[in-house]
Structure 1
Amino acid sequence: MTLWAELDRDGFEQFVWCRDRESDLQAFIAIHSTARGPALGGCRLWPYTNQEDAARDAMRLARSMTYKAAAAGLPYGGGKAVVVGRPGDAGNDRRFEALGRFIERLNGSYLTGVDVGTTPYEMDAVLRSTGYVTDTTGSMGGSGDWTADMTAYGVISGMKATAKLVFGSSRLQGRTIAVQGLGKVGWALCRYLHREGARLIVSDLNVRLVERAVAEYRAMPIAADRIYEVSCDIFSPCAMGGILNETTIRLLQCRIIAGSANNQLAAPEHAEQLWQRGIMYAPDFVINAGGIIATAAELEGDGPFRTRSRVRRIAGTLAETYAEAEAADVTPAEAADRLAERMLRTEADPPGTNDSRGTRRV
């Protein structure tokens, strides 16, 4: 299927190729839906092999953001920006300033922020060209690893809700949890899990991060290509998406999958394969919504305490999802899709304070 056919099939509203020769910017902005409000989604910086891979990643992530925001009840739609490049590349400052000009031309239909590969430094560069940006220096999202921490906080809240359903108790003490990926979110999740008394098994391509987790959290290291077959109570994917497929699902020795990675299922049918194996899958766009909830809370003027309270509601959303899955005899992934699609058909309350163009300027 061609890229354009996929855009049409999945109902995308806008798709922008951003090419600025002066700064050598190559980027894509995908706006999947603004049915509930302006599209909200971070900007990813990644060394994509080719532009088609970058474009398709923007599409997958944007659609996921639509469902994530809807399932969380937020008055925002879903969008995503991806920039082809690497963190620390010479000229990134000018590239993100140029990206800001493209975002400004969208007139508030898309709000960006940090994602994989980007930091408040890049968002500050975007801010020089547009106000439609979050996670800049001085904001909560731009302070330390706040957004990643809130994503991890949501994951552990959802993990407890899932454990209560599967094991009869939400306690994670003594549970063996395998964490794949020790980036910002994976690391924060390990910190929370260690405090809960869980036994950690960790993998990451960065050996130094693994060694640090072993030292700080008494984690057991395992090779990245062995993480799927390790015996554990909960497998937590916190790296890139598409990792649950016919090959890896056959290897899994866990009762629950609950992690922060986006688009964990390589294809929709893999949800059924997990269900048939008796593995409870916490739908990714529900359990990993802590980051977008935190961003929305800051846009609406909430502080840290109220933001944490809002993120904890992920546990309730998952419980509702599991109940619907059982009642309708469908997988949790299908139940989550139904929940999000119902929300997309309802009108959302307007976000925070609006300017004359209907979008909060930050």
Structure 2
Amino acid sequence: MLNVLEPRHQKLAGATTLEITDITADVARLDGFDRHEQVWLGRDTARGLTAIVSIHTTVLGPALGGTRIWPHVSFEAGVIDALRLSRGMTFKSAIAGLPLGGGKAVIIADAKKDKTPAMLEAYAEMLNKLQGQYITAEDVGMTLADADFLAERAPNVSGTTKGGSGNPSPFTAQGTFVGLKAALRHRTGSDALSGVRVGVQGLGSVGWSLCEKLHAEGAVLTVSDLDVVRTARAAEKFGATVVSGDAILSADVDIFAPCALGGILSAETIPQLKAGIVAGAANNQLATAEDGMRLVERGILYAPDYVINAGGVINVAAEMAEGGYSVGAVSPRVEKIADTLAAIFQRADREGRTTDAVAETMAREIVEAARK
């Protein structure tokens, strides 16, 4: 593995105020740590940056994962988020058959109030030091314009408009859509959506695009989002029923599609679900490892998040393919998400295991084979 920072604590040369520290040993005790190769802290007080870059593994290739800007309640909460998300990226890339490892960055800040050009410039300096080890792209709080800004200053940025493939959200939404239909087919024997009630939590780029696809095939939508303008538009365009963030969990729907932040499925929320299927684009939907079994006990079919939402990373990875980027090459791989989920559902039934446990086993088998 490329060790890009020596010594363990390094202040960069020149006038920069950025300091980067290897905090791997310090965070090994935290929930979500799973043989992570390295975890870096980038801090620049003068420019308002506190960034955690978590590298889960580079066994299959350089670690790819978006940068999330989010005002976590504590530094530890931000680290745990990065640890869990980077591990999920390893599993996502492995199951999707991509030559990439898993990484994730979390900038602890409010994207609406704290994000400044100076902060992003400091983060770009950090990305430059991680060339060969980490490749980033958009995530919550990080826009396409932000990615373009970073790409002008660091080469290890994907999903941009300038030489990249642009916003990966439509591909994430398409993969989620075909994965949702695969879950419906496994549960009912048909993937016809006409009259099927779907609750969509989160109307960002992915959630909105998913609603468009569901509405086009006749699904009956119930939606929630913190942005009342978005929910009003959904009511007008899709005839959707609008409910609060909490009420979406207990909405009388057939399928629940979480497309906001993670940790939504827990011991407290799972008993509220009326849906027989959970199939959405949010990362880290299970709050704990036990929640997969809680869903099984309720008779709910779960589409593992890092399998169903892999369309975006499949698209970003295509930028690195020999011969250059081609949408025509991406779409068939995104469509195969349905086949992968069908195989997971069948194996889970055959082995009497949860779908998330089966998906993790499959991903770890691929990584361990590569280690040998």
TM-score (norm 1): 0.91
Q: 1:94-133 maps to which residues of 2 (within 5 A)? A: 94-133=118-157
Residues 58-88 of structure 1 deviation map (CA, whole Å, 9 limit, x = unaligned): 1111111111111111100000111122335
Residues 164-207 of structure 1 deviation map (CA, whole Å, 9 limit, x = unaligned): 11011011121100001111111111011111111101011111
Counterpart residue identity of residue 307, structure 1: V
Residues 302-359 of structure 1 deviation map (CA, whole Å, 9 limit, x = unaligned): 31222111111100110111121122110111110111111112339xxxxxxxxxxx
- Aligned counterpart, 1:203: 224
- Aligned counterpart, 1:331: 354
- Aligned counterpart, 1:321: 344
**Distance between the aligned counterparts of 1:241 and 1:91, measured in 2?**
22
**Distance between the aligned counterparts of 1:140 and 1:102, measured in 2?**
21
**Distance between the aligned counterparts of 2:56 and 2:292, measured in 1?**
23
Counterpart residue identity of residue 321, structure 1: I
Are 2:32 and 2:80, in contact at CA under 8 Å, matched by a contact in 1? no
CA 1:132–1:311 in 2, change beyond 3 Å: closer, same or farther?
Answer: same
Residues 31-71 of structure 1 deviation map (CA, whole Å, 9 limit, x = unaligned): 01111000000111112222222221111111111111111
**Distance between the aligned counterparts of 1:190 and 1:312, measured in 2?**
18
Matched, 1:36 2:60: yes
- 1:79 alignment partner, one of 103, 116, 129: 103
- 2:176 alignment partner, one of 155, 165, 177: 155
Give 1:139 shift: 4.2
Are 1:154 and 1:312, in contact at CA under 8 Å, matched by a contact in 2? yes
Give 1:299 shift: 2.2
Are 1:96 and 1:123, in contact at CA under 8 Å, matched by a contact in 2? no
- Aligned counterpart, 2:250: 229
3-state DSSP class of the match of 2:90? helix
**Distance between the aligned counterparts of 1:192 and 1:40, measured in 2?**
28
Give 1:89 shift: 4.0
Q: Percent identity?
A: 42
**Distance between the aligned counterparts of 2:114 and 2:345, measured in 1?**
47
Counterpart residue identity of residue 370, structure 2: E
Are 1:97 and 1:127, in contact at CA under 8 Å, matched by a contact in 2? no
**Distance between the aligned counterparts of 1:102 and 1:27, measured in 2?**
9
- Aligned counterpart, 1:182: 203
3-state DSSP class of the match of 1:44? strand
CA 1:225–1:71 in 2, change beyond 3 Å: closer, same or farther?
Answer: same
Q: Which runs of 5+ in 2 are unaligned?
A: 1-25
> How many positions carry a matched residue from both structures?
344
**Distance between the aligned counterparts of 1:58 and 1:9, measured in 2?**
10
Give 1:276 shift: 1.3
**Distance between the aligned counterparts of 1:249 and 1:7, measured in 2?**
21
Counterpart residue identity of residue 330, structure 1: R
Matched, 1:5 2:29: yes
Matched, 1:267 2:291: no
Give 1:7 shift: 7.7
Are 1:61 and 1:263, in contact at CA under 8 Å, matched by a contact in 2? yes
Are 2:69 and 2:108, in contact at CA under 8 Å, matched by a contact in 1? yes
**Distance between the aligned counterparts of 1:164 and 1:114, measured in 2?**
32
CA 1:206–1:5 in 2, change beyond 3 Å: closer, same or farther?
Answer: same
Give 1:3 shift: 3.2
Residues 80-138 of structure 1 deviation map (CA, whole Å, 9 limit, x = unaligned): 11112233546621222221221221231100111111112222332233201112233
3-state DSSP class of the match of 1:216? helix
**Distance between the aligned counterparts of 1:89 and 1:128, measured in 2?**
23
**Distance between the aligned counterparts of 1:99 and 1:347, measured in 2?**
31
- 1:256 alignment partner, one of 257, 277, 282: 277
TM-score (norm 2): 0.88
User: Aligned-pair RMSD on alpha carbons?
Assistant: 1.7
Q: Which runs of 5+ in 1 are unaligned?
A: 349-362
**Distance between the aligned counterparts of 1:34 and 1:165, measured in 2?**
34
Residues 244-267 of structure 1 deviation map (CA, whole Å, 9 limit, x = unaligned): 111211111111000001110111
- Aligned counterpart, 2:94: 70
**Distance between the aligned counterparts of 1:113 and 1:313, measured in 2?**
23
Give 1:155 shift: 0.5
